[in-house]
Structure 1
C-alpha cells in the first residue's frame, strides 16, 4: 500500500486549512499552494473533490476561499482517503466457484491487511496530524538551538 500523490497533496492542503481553522477565515487556493508547494491547478481539482465529499466548503467573493466543514478533530484520515481514492475495502464479489485455493488465500490476506490499514486510518484525525507536526517542529527547534 502506498500513499498516492493525490492523497498526499490533499492531506497537506487540509493540514494547512486545519492550522487556520480557529480563525474562521477561508484560505485561497494560491495561499495553500504556496505554503504546501502544490500546483495551483491540481489543488483546485483536489479541493473540488473534497468539497463534493463534504470535507471542505468554498466561499465565493473577494474574501472567498476554502475552509473545513467541521473541526479537525472530527475529520478522520479514512474519510479523506475514501473521498479521494474511493476506497472500498469490501470483499470481491467474484464467483467463488471459479476461484482457486491460491487466489482465495491471497484475497483473505489482502482483506486482512486492508482492514488493519482501515483501523489505523480510522484512529487518526486531522487534529492528530497537526499535533504531530507541531511536536516535530518543537523537536527541530530544540535540536538547532
Structure 2
C-alpha cells in the first residue's frame, strides 16, 4: 500500500526525470508529460509549485523548460512531497468533525505517523533515486544525458 497521493508520486518522478535529463538543455513540460503518459496541463501546477519551493527552476524561451534549482543531493523526496502537498488543497472537502476523539486521540496519532513518514522521505535524496534509476535503466524516453563531445 502506497501512502503518497498520485500527485506526490508524480512530483517525485518528475524531479528525478528532470535531474536525469536536464543536461545540456532544460526539460520541456511537454516532453516530461510524454515520458509519463500525462497531459501537459496536468503537470504544470505541480511543476510551478516545485519552482515556488526552490526545487526546480523554470527556464523561459523556445528551448526552455525545467531544471533543478539545487544540486540533486540537496533535494529530498520529503522536500518534493511537501511542495506537492501545497497544490492539492482541501477546499472542496467538508469541514473536519468537531470531535474530542479526533482532536485528542486520532489527530495527534496521525500527525505523529505523518511526521515519521516524511522523516523517512527526507532521508532519500533525488541523487539516491537518480542513481537507482541509472542502475535499473529506468530512465524512460530519449537519454539526453549522453555526451558525444569529441
Question: Normalised by the shorter chain, which TM-score bucket?
Answer: 0.7 to 0.9
Bigger helix fraction: 1
1:42 aligns with 42
Is residue 9–residue 38 contact of structure 1 (8 Å, CA) maintained in 2? no
Question: 1 CA distance for matches of 2:102 and 2:57?
Answer: 46
Question: 1 CA distance for matches of 2:51 and 2:18?
Answer: 13
Is residue 17–residue 67 contact of structure 1 (8 Å, CA) maintained in 2? yes
With 102-111 and 47-56 compared, the bigger mean Cα shift is at 102-111
Question: Which ranges of structure 1 fall in alignment gaps of 5 or more residues?
Answer: 87-97, 139-145
The Cα shift of 1:106 comes to 2.6
Is residue 73–residue 125 contact of structure 1 (8 Å, CA) maintained in 2? yes
1:136 aligns with 136
2:18 aligns with 17
| TM-score (ref. length: structure 2) | 0.72
Please say which structure displays the higher CA radius of gyration. 1
1:91 aligns with none
2:54 aligns with 54
Question: 2 CA distance for matches of 1:102 and 1:57?
Answer: 40
The Cα shift of 1:20 comes to 2.2
The Cα shift of 1:8 comes to 1.8
Is residue 11–residue 81 contact of structure 2 (8 Å, CA) maintained in 1? no
Is residue 19–residue 130 contact of structure 1 (8 Å, CA) maintained in 2? yes
| TM-score (ref. length: structure 1) | 0.74
* SS of equivalent residue, structure 1 residue 130: helix
Question: Cα RMSD (Å) of the superposition?
Answer: 2.5
